[in-house]
Structure 1
C-alpha cells in the first residue's frame, strides 16, 4: 500500500473515533504548549539580558575603558589628548570607528579648584537635573534652565563657604574655578554627609572640558568586530604607553563574557523548567499507547480482512504507527500555536517580549512525532503480528 493511502486510511480511522482522539491528543497539546511558553519567555529574558551585547541600529558596538590611579588622592585624569592620538594611530587595526574621552559617568568627579585665591581638591557633584536632595542654606538652587543653557554657575558646601569666607552669605556671587573654568556661586548647600563640595551642571562641566581629559574612554567599533578581543589590545597598549600608565592602570570589564555567562544560566534554567513541563508529554504518550492498544483490539476483524486480501505485516505496522504519529503531530502543531499565543499574552504584562523562532516549531513538531513513534511502535507491532488463522477462529 502506498504511503498516501496509508496516510488517508490512518486519518479516517482517527476521525471515526473523534471524541477519543481529541481527548488523547489533549495531553500532547498541553505538554507542548507548556514547553513552548516557557522556552519563548526564557528566550525573551535572554534577549533582554543580552541587549547590551547587541550592536546599535547602525550596527556599531561600544565599550568603556577605565583608568584607576595608584594614588587614591590623585585628581589627575587618566586619559588625555595624547592617548586619543596613540589609539587613533592604530585605529584601522583595532576596527575602531572612534574613541571619546568621557569626563564623568557616575555623577561626580574629583578636581582641583581655586576658591578665593586658594587651591583646594574638591569632589564635584555633576547635575543632570536640578537636585531636590540638596538643602539650600543661602542663595538658590541650579535650575533646569541653567543646566539646559550650560550656564557656568555653581553651588558650594557650607564647609567650603565658612572655610574661605566669613559667612555663607558672603560666598554668594563669588567665583570658584574648576579645571581653569570660572563658575559663579549662586547658592550654598548643607553637606550630605560631607561627600560633595561643589555642585555644577554636568552639561557645563563636559562642554567646558571639551572632552580632553577624563577617567573613562568610550570606544566605538565597526559592525562584526570582536569587541572583547580588540578592547583587550587597546588596554594592553595603554598600560604600556598611556599618558599615566606609570601612575595607575587602565582596565576593562568584559561585560560581553559576563552577560554571556548570565545568558547560559538563563538558558539552563529555561530548559530545566521545560524538561519538568515535558513530563506531561510522557504521561500523554502513555495515553496514546493505551488508545492505540484499544484501537488494535477493536479492529481485529479489519486487520484480518486486510491480511486476507494480501496486506503485509509491514503495511499493518506502518498504518497503526502512522495513526499514532498523526495523533501526536496534530497535538504538537496545536500546542505550538497555543504556546505562542500564551507566551505573547503573558509577555504583555512583563518588561520584555517573548521570542518564538523556527527552532521552537521544529522542537514542538519533532518532540510530538518522537512521542508518537516511541509510544505507538508497540501497539503497531502487536497489530502486525496478528495471525490470520487465529483471527478467523
Structure 2
C-alpha cells in the first residue's frame, strides 16, 4: 500500500542543518498495524507527516497504491488526504465551541462525494459516544475527545489511519480504552500507522519500526502483539449526491454556518470590524439622500418657473470700462412682444414683464414687496393659477385696470391670512382691487417667491413705475427641440425691428439653466459620496486587520482543516465569507443608521431628503466589494499556509 525508498528531509535551524530523515526506506501492506517508535527528535513524527502527505520529502521515492505522490499538486494532496487517510492527533485538534457531531462531520465538507448526513452519527456510535453527540468539546473528557477524533478520522471511510501519540495526553484508563478502539479498527481491516515513544502502546501493533537520528534501526514483527480476530470490514458506502449543484449548495451553507460560528466567538471584535463599514454605508446613504433631496428641490423650483421658456432682455453694454444698465442701448416694448407672438413660429405664449418694488398698505398695515407687471399668458407659463379668485384678463391689461393678484406673504402680512379677494390695497398710494391669491411657491436662498404681487403690465408701466418700455419678454415654445431655432428667429426679428446689429439683445434659456443646476447638484452629490466612501475604505482596512489577526489565531485550525482534506480554495472561501458577513452586518446597520440620519435632517434641520433604491444598492454593493477586496489578502495568506507548519504553530 505504501512504499518509500531513500527519502530525506532536512530542516534549516538558523545556520544549522538538521537531518530529520536520512535515507529512510520501508513498505506498509494493506491491513497492517504498524508502530513507529523512537526517542524525541528521532524523526518518527516527521516520517508520519510525510507518509500522511502533510509534509513533502526533499528527495526519495514515495508511492501510495503504486501512485507517485511526490509530483502531486496541493489540491491532489488534499484530495488524497481526505479520501484515503484519517488522522488522530495527540492534541485531539477538535474545533472549539463545536459539538462532537459537527467535529466528526468536518471532513465531509471537503469530500465532495455527497455523503449522507447520518454518517457522523454512525461513527460516534462506533466509538461508543452515542449519548455525547451534541456536547461541545469542552464538555468532554480527554478520552472522549480522542474518541471524537477517531470517529472524525473514520467518517470518510479511509484506507489508512495515522495516529500521532494518540494516548500522549490521556490518563492510563483512557489510554487503554483508546488502544482498544484502535485494535478493533484494525480487526475491521483498516491499515493503522501509529507513532509513539511508549513501548506499552507500541506493543499493540503487529509490527514495530524503530527510528533513530533519522534512520530506521529496526523493523520487525511484534511477537507480543495481542491476537485480534478479524471482524471483517464494515464500510460505509459513498452515497453520491443527486447533483453537483445541490452538493455545492450544501458545502456553501456549511461554510457560511462555520464562518458565523467563528465570528460569533469574538462578538466584540466582529462588531468593531463592522463599525467602520456601518459608518461608511450610513455616510454614503445619508449624503446621497441629502444631495438627491437638494437636487429634487431645485428641480421642483425650476419646474415652477415653467417649461420650454425663453427670457428676452436687452444686452448690457460697457462704455469706458463702465458696465451700463440693461436697455441703455435699446429697449423692448409691448409692440415687440406682440410681434414675437404673431410672427415667430413655434411660439405658444408671450408675456411682457415689468419689475419694481413698491409699498403695499391695507388698513393700518404696511408691507414692501416686489411688484411685477405681466400679461395674462404669464399665469399658465409660470404655473401661477390663483388658489383663490382669478388672474387678470386681456381687457384689464388694455384698460390699465387697477387690479392685482397677491402672493401668500403679503396676504399674511396685510390681511392676517384671511381671504383678501374683493378687498382694497394701496400700491404706492394708488388703490387696487385684489382679484386673486397666488399659489404658494416657497423660497430659494434669500428670495421668497411668495413675497410678490402681480398687476397688468400696462398698469405697472403707466401708473406705477412711469415706464414706456418693458424689462423683459418671456416666451414659451411649443417643443423643446424647437428652442434653438426659435431663439435665432426672435433675435433676427428684433434686429430688423430695431435696426440694430447682432448682440443688442440676449436670450436666456431656462432649460439650460435647469440643466446647469442639475449638473452642479450631480457633481456635489458625487463629491459628497466620494468623501463618504473614504469611510468605507477605512472600514475595509479594519476588516483586513481583524482578518489577519484571525488567521494568526486560527493557524492550527487551518492546519487541521488542510489535514482533513481542505484545499487552499476552501480555506480562502471560508475567510472571504467571514469578511463578507462582517460587511453584510455592517451594511445592514449602516442602512438603518443612514436612514435615521436622513430623517433626522429632514425633521430637525428642515432639509429635503430623498432616499432612492439605487443609493442603497450602491452603498450595500460597495460595502460587499470592500469586504471582498480587503478580505482577499488575509484569505490568501490562510490558504497558502503549509499544513504541517500550521499544525505545529503555537
| Same fold, judged at TM 0.5 (above) | yes
TM-score (norm 2): 0.41
The residue number in structure 2 matching 1:100 is: 350
The residue number in structure 2 matching 1:294 is: 549
Separation in 1, partners of 2:563, 2:298: 64
Q: Does 1:316 align with 2:571?
A: yes
Separation in 2, partners of 1:80, 1:392: 91
Separation in 2, partners of 1:32, 1:47: 22
In proportion to residue count, which structure has more helix? 1
Deviation, structure 1 residue 341? 2.4
The residue number in structure 2 matching 1:31 is: 280
Deviation, structure 1 residue 61? 2.2
The residue number in structure 2 matching 1:147 is: 434
For 1:1-393, list aligned pairs within 5 A. Answer: 2=248, 3-54=252-303, 61-68=307-314, 76-87=333-344, 90-91=345-346, 98-104=348-354, 107=371, 128=405, 134=428, 136=429, 141-143=430-432, 146-148=433-435, 202-203=455-456, 205=458, 215-221=472-478, 225-226=480-481, 230-241=482-493, 245-247=497-499, 251-350=506-605, 352-393=607-648
TM-aligned CA distance change 1:54 to 1:221, over 3 Å: farther
Deviation, structure 1 residue 364? 0.9
Separation in 1, partners of 2:544, 2:404: 69
**Contact 1:317–1:380 under 8 Å retained in 2:** yes
SS of residue matched to 1:365: helix
- Measured on the aligned residues, the alpha-carbon RMSD in Å equals 3.8
**Contact 1:40–1:356 under 8 Å retained in 2:** yes
Deviation, structure 1 residue 310? 1.2
Unaligned runs of 5+ in 1: 111-123, 150-199
SS of residue matched to 1:347: helix
The residue number in structure 2 matching 1:169 is: none
Separation in 2, partners of 1:281, 1:260: 31
Deviation, structure 1 residue 326? 1.6
Unaligned runs of 5+ in 2: 1-109, 111-247, 316-326, 357-370, 375-400, 407-423, 437-452, 463-468
**Contact 2:544–2:631 under 8 Å retained in 1:** yes
Stretches of 4+ aligned residues off by more than 6 angstroms: 130-133
Deviation, structure 1 residue 377? 1.2
- Count matched residues: 305
SS of residue matched to 1:61: coil
Separation in 1, partners of 2:335, 2:605: 42
Task: Out of 241-250 and 78-87, give the one that drifted further.
Answer: 241-250
Separation in 2, partners of 1:339, 1:109: 47
The residue number in structure 1 matching 2:13 is: none
TM-aligned CA distance change 1:243 to 1:127, over 3 Å: farther
Q: Which has the higher contact order (CA 8 A, sep 6+)?
A: 1
SS of residue matched to 1:65: strand
TM-aligned CA distance change 1:242 to 1:21, over 3 Å: same
